[in-house]
């Protein structure tokens, strides 16, 4: 069975690398906190020990998750054309209310709606992939379908 690779931008890949480095730097402090809490005595009623153990376990879990994200990542380099793909900035107009929005199309691991970074696997992202400026697209979402028109496509800085 062939391995499945998640498409990701180079910026997203480097952001994950930075987070891994940050977590590795905070790990020794968390281990010391666990050792200090363990030295307090009875572990059955030691809230500090339970919290320190939980924090270290969370950090280790996050490190494993992020390492796996990098292991199965495929960095995508977008082409300098008007076709929508991962790594491009897209300006769209919602045809129901003529509201205009800008989105960056990114891979699943780096999607963040608060920063207008949408995954190519999201309903809007799926509908926009491989479209060009001027195309009108029907987006099938869990709340119903709607139409959007592609106004501009640029490379992400």
In CATH terms, the fold of domain 88-155 is: Chitinase A; domain 3 (3.10.50)
**What are 124-155's pLDDT values in tens digits?**
999 999 999 999 999 998 889 999 999 999 98
pTM of the predicted structure, to 2 decimals: 0.81
Residues 6+ away with beta carbon under 8 Å from 64:
none
CB 84 within 8 A of CB 153: yes
**CATH for 6-75, among 3.40.980.10, 1.10.287.180, 3.30.420.40, 1.10.10.10?**
1.10.287.180
**pLDDT more than 90, % of the chain:** 66
CB 150 within 8 A of CB 137: yes
Residues of the chain with CATH 3.10.50.30: 88-155
């Amino acid at each position: 069975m062939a391995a499945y690779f998640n498409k990701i931008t180079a910026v997203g890949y480097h952001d994950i690398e930075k987070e891994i480095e940050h977590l590795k730097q905070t790990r020794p402090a968390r281990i010391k906190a666990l050792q200090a809490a363990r030295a307090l005595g009875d572990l059955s009623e030691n809230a500090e020990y339970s919290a320190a153990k939980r924090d270290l376990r969370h950090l280790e879990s996050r490190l494993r998750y992020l390492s796996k994200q990098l292991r199965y990542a495929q960095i995508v380099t977008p082409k300098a054309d008007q076709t929508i793909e991962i790594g491009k900035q897209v300006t769209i107009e919602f045809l129901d209310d003529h509201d205009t929005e800008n989105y960056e199309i990114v891979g699943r691991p780096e999607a963040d709606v608060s920063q207008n970074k949408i995954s190519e696997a999201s309903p809007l992202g799926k509908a926009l992939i491989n479209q060009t400026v001027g195309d009108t697209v029907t987006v099938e979402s869990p709340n119903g379908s709607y139409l959007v028109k592609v106004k501009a496509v640029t490379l992400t800085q």
